[in-house]
Amino acid sequence: MSGRDRSGSISLSPRNVIPVCSQLTPSQVSVVRRSWRHINTKGLIIVLTRCFSRLESNCPIVSQCFQSATYSLSTNPNGVRTVADHAKYLLQLLDKIIEGDVDSEFLREIGANHVCLKHESGFSTQEWDRFQEIMVEVILKQDGVKQSKETSRAWRLLICSFIELIRDGFDAQVRQFRRKHSFNAHVQYFENIEKRVGVCPSRKISLNVDPRTPPNGVRKYSQY
Range 55-76 average pLDDT: 76
Q: Would you list the domain boundaries of the chain?
A: 14-185
Q: What is the DSSP string of the chain?
A: --SB-TTSSBP--GGG--TT-TTS-HHHHHHHHHHHHHH-STTHHHHHHHHHHHHHHH-HHHHHHHHH-----TTSTT---SHHHHHHHHHHHHHHHHHT---HHHHHHHHHTTHHHHHHH---HHHHHHHHHHHHHHHTTSTTTTT-HHHHHHHHHHHHHHHHHHHHHHHHHHHHHHHHHHHHHHHHHHHHHHHHHHHSPP--EEEEEPSS--TTSPPPEEE-
Question: What confidence tier does 185 reach under pLDDT thresholds 50, 70, 90?
Answer: very low
pLDDT of residue 72: 47
CATH topology of domain 14-185: Globin-like (1.10.490)
On whether the pTM is more than 0.85, the answer is: no
Q: Which of 13-17, 44-48, 83-87, 191-195 has the lowest mean pLDDT?
A: 191-195
